[in-house]
Amino acid sequence: MFSKACEYGIKATIFIAQKSLHKTRVSLKEIAAEINSPEAFTAKILQSLARNGLVDSHKGPTGGFEMNRAKMDTIKLYDIVNAIDGDNIFVGCGLGLKHCDANKPCPVHDKFVGIRENLTQMLKNTTMYELASGLDIGLTQLKR
Amino acid sequence: MFSKACEYGIKATIFIAQKSLHKTRVSLKEIAAEINSPEAFTAKILQSLARNGLVDSHKGPTGGFEMNRAKMDTIKLYDIVNAIDGDNIFVGCGLGLKHCDANKPCPVHDKFVGIRENLTQMLKNTTMYELASGLDIGLTQLKR
DNA sequence: ATTAAATAGGATAAATTTGTCCGAAATAAG
DNA sequence: CTTATTTCGGACAAATTTATCCTATTTAAT
């Protein structure tokens, strides 16, 4: 459903947010170890998220990644997915047609409308804070 | 959501089924032209679907692909997707974890359960006949 | 039998995604 | 100021997906 890059990006962001709940900055190394992802590849994804303002990064010793509480409430899962995989999953045709809509639908158009809407709304309604909290209290996991 | 191969496979199968409604066999060339797909690549996909018994193929002059009415009613969109892309989209973890379930859920597990179930049920409930009919009466399209 | 038309299948190539390497830039601390 | 630590960013490499090419096999028709 999501690209590998997006999976890593989501997991990394949730972990960063969880640590930020405790005012702790995390390094790339810690992140990659925690979410079990290739370090250099994860770095690329985090750079992109940082450039897009979805996480904050700091260079130098004691540097690393963090996310303030305001962002945790503002930024939705949707924003992470959209930043990494783009909006094709939200708006594109299920069969890859360029011009597919209610007027000129592909054979699966109507079948997909509802599911896509559910997915989009779910992602748009899910805050990073919510995901970080669940992880923080041990309700959810990022490994295995 | 689906791989390119899967998109081509779905479109090709629907077209084959539609033509079979009129007892007409279609060649690879016609299929690729109709669904706007690379011919040789489409051939690979159709070979695989034929090996799996999802479409019937015939060699030689007047040969081509077809699907009898019984299969149209039996075979679901689910079967096509499963044959080409496998079952990861139906059963795999949204974040790619190997061991993610209700007991040890990833942060998005609960959020995805419903959506995934909707998708699976929809694909399992959609027959090739239904899709072929919609195309046949001009309600849907495979191009553009 | 011969021919032509069609799918089957192996080998290969191109494109994209995933992953690695290394030097540059920033910055905290002594 | 120097050093060590960390992210940044470009170039490169590997793996996977997508796409092509060519020959073999099957089969209908003459």
Question: Would the CA dihedral through B9, B11, B16, B17 be positive or negative?
Answer: positive
Mutation site for A-interface testing, chosen from B42, B101, B111, B116 by largest number of A Cβ within 10 Å:
B111
Q: Coil, strand, or helix at residue B50? A: helix
End-to-end CA distance of chain A: 19
Question: Would the CA dihedral through B46, B48, B53, B59 be positive or negative?
Answer: positive
State whether B115 and A114 contact (CB < 8 Å): no
Q: What's the whole-number average pLDDT of chain A?
A: 97
B16: left (phi over 0), alpha (psi -120 to 50) or beta: alpha
- Reported confidence tier of residue A108, pLDDT bands at 50, 70, 90: very high
How much is the ipTM here? 0.94
Dihedral angle, C-alpha B13, B14, B18, B21, nearest 10 °: 60
Question: pLDDT tens digit string along A109-144?
Answer: 999 999 999 999 999 999 999 999 999 999 999 999
- Write down how long chain A is: 144
DSSP B64: E
Q: Which residues contact residue B80 at a Cβ distance below 8 angstroms, ignoring those fewer than 6 apart?
A: B6, B9, B10, B13, B49, B54, B128
Mutation site for A-interface testing, chosen from B2, B95, B125 by largest number of A Cβ within 10 Å:
B95
pLDDT of residue B23: 97
Dihedral angle, C-alpha B121, A92, A73, B100, nearest 10 °: 40
pLDDT of residue B95: 97
pLDDT of residue B131: 98
d(CA B7, CA A88): 14
- Reported confidence tier of residue A11, pLDDT bands at 50, 70, 90: very high
pLDDT of residue A57: 98
Cβ of A89 under 8 Å from any chain B Cβ? yes
B60 min Cα distance to partner chain A (Å): 30
- Write down how long chain B is: 144
Q: Coil, strand, or helix at residue A4? A: helix
Q: Which residues contact residue A74 at a Cβ distance below 8 angstroms, ignoring those fewer than 6 apart?
A: A127
Of all protein residues, which has its CA closest to the C1' atom of C9? B44
CATH class held by domain A4-136 = mainly alpha
Question: pLDDT tens digit string along B26-81?
Answer: 999 999 999 999 999 999 999 999 999 999 999 999 999 999 999 999 999 999 99
Of all protein residues, which has its CA closest to the C1' atom of C7? B59
Q: Coil, strand, or helix at residue A17? A: helix
Question: pLDDT tens digit string along A56-70?
Answer: 999 999 999 999 999
Is the CB of A96 less than 7 A from some atom of nucleic acid strand C? no
Question: pLDDT tens digit string along B100-143?
Answer: 999 999 999 999 999 999 999 999 999 999 999 999 999 999 99
Q: Map out the domains of chain B as residue ranges.
A: 4-136
Query: How many Å from the CA of A24 to C1' of C29?
Result: 19
d(CA A136, CA A14): 10
- The amino acid present at A6, given as its one-letter code, is C
Question: Would the CA dihedral through A130, A132, A138, A144 be positive or negative?
Answer: positive
Q: Which chain B residues touch A114 with a CB distance below 8 Å? A: 118
d(CA B91, CA B101): 10
State whether B14 and A107 contact (CB < 8 Å): yes
